[in-house]
Amino acid sequence: MNGVNLIPAHRTLARRRRARVRLWTIAAATHAVLLGAVYAGMAAAWGGTSAEWKGRLASINSQLDRDNDALKARQADLTEKLAAKQANDAVGEQADWSMLLGLIARTVRDDVVLENSSLRPGDPGAKPARPLTLALSGLGRTHGAVSDFVLRLESTRVFSHVALLETRRTALPHAEAIAFRVEAAISEDARR
């Protein structure tokens, strides 16, 4: 047999196109029938009229509104409690410096008067590390009174290092005094 096809190509393509259109038409019709059957089956299974469904939907919407109102109330309560917690944390993380000031007041005797005190971050590069440094300045009656004050500060064990930075004789209206500057590094154990 000869393999030559004498039918024009445009007729062969038209025949194939018609066959595909027929196939898709049958498939679409079958799909529509099946979809209608599923819809009818679901309507029969769930039953009820549109009025019943509207009632159920209204009930669900009212429940959602109540839940949303409760959620808003809880969010407001949560926001208020979160703000209170943040305030408590901010205050709670602050050190109680009154204990340190009371300790310093107990180390001061009648022969020493403090003029100034300040607390600042220490030198992080120092060995051992000094996280906080207390600087004190004041007047003492004698060099011995100033030295005794420094020794009393060291004996508290609150400070890891106490240094007498400067002493100098100062004239007062009715007497002479020794002006001094002291720096004391607060120890890590004392901060806890």
Supply the pLDDT for residue 128: 61
The token duo for 152 is 């009393």
- Phi and psi torsions of 44, nearest 5°: -70, -40
Domain segments of the chain as ranges: 48-91, 97-191
Q: What does the pLDDT look like over 134-164, one tens digit per residue?
A: 899 999 999 999 999 999 999 988 888 899 9
Quick count: other Cβ atoms within 10 Å of Cβ 9?
A: 8
Give the type of residue at 97.
W
What is the chain's length? 192
Residue 126's nearest CA partner among 186, 53, 65 is 186
The 3-class secondary structure across 102-141, one letter per residue, is: HHHHHHCCCCEEEEEEEEEECCCCCCCCCCEEEEEEEEEC
Whole-model pTM: value is 0.49
DSSP string, 36-93: HHHHHHHHHHH---HHHHHHHHHHHHHHHHHHHHHHHHHHHHHHHHHHHHHHHHHHHT
Q: What is the pLDDT of residue 38?
A: 92
Is the backbone of residue 28 left (phi > 0), alpha (psi -120 to 50) or beta? Answer: alpha
Q: Check: CB of residue 172 under 8 Å from CB of residue 160.
A: no
What per-residue confidence (pLDDT) applies to 120? Answer: 84
pLDDT in tens, 78-137: 888 888 787 777 666 666 778 888 888 899 989 999 999 988 886 666 666 557 888 999
Which of these, 136, 167, 132, lies nearest to 152 by C-alpha position?
136
Residue pLDDT, tens place only, 10-61: 899 999 999 999 999 999 999 999 999 998 888 777 766 677 778 888 999 9
| Better pLDDT: 9 or 53 | 9
Statement: 97-191 belongs to CATH 1.20.200.10: no
Integer Cα distance of 67 and 75 in angstroms: 12
- pLDDT tens digits along 167-192: 999 888 888 899 999 998 887 665 55
